[in-house]
Amino acid sequence: MELGGLQALWLGSHADPGIIRDPRDLARITEAFRFTASLFDSLHGICGTPYVLADAGNLSRLMRYNEPTRANAVRAAAAARLIDAMPKLGQRTVARLSKMTPATDVLRSGETLADYARRSISGTGHVSGTCRMGAANDPLAVVDPQGQVHGMHGLYVADASVMPTVPSANTHLPTIMVAEKIAGGLSR
């Protein structure tokens, strides 16, 4: 999830124990979390501090803000203005209201991270639109039409996150098409 410079590495609701039943899965998930968090070290100037949901059960409460309503449009505009005007204060306010915590808190120890994964991991459904595709002069665009992240040579995104809007249907086939198109451009 991206909101201004506020990044959420991990969103979960109620954990599905089948996802991490095998200890090797838990090891892979925690290693992937560490790796993803390490990427923010070099991207900190662009992305800001990575955050995670402190209370995984809070996701369902937050999802109501995804509904396309006039009230949510007003809330989003106010949050965006606050983040644009006072980035640090805006990020802290959004993090506090959404009950998020810096990823470094989860990474304090291996057991803290494993406990977080056990409590939090779940499927996320039709996640899309978090790295909008568009021209470099589009302030909402994260990647160009070839999937390359603006200002980051060699970094590409080739999944549903580049869709400029959240589709109203299943994202499986459009995501395959996006990935194949971007991969085809990379192979040239």
Kindly list the catalytic residues.
126
Q: Are 1 and 130 within 8 A, CB to CB?
A: yes
Q: How far apart are CA 73 and CA 54, in angstroms?
A: 25
CB atoms within 10 A of CB 97: 10
Q: How far apart are CA 30 and CA 172, in angstroms?
A: 26
Strand partners, 100: 53
Q: Which residue has the tokens 């991969």?
A: 183
Q: How far apart are CA 87 and CA 89, in angstroms?
A: 6
Q: How far apart are CA 155 and CA 146, in angstroms?
A: 11
Token duo for residue 84: 């644009």
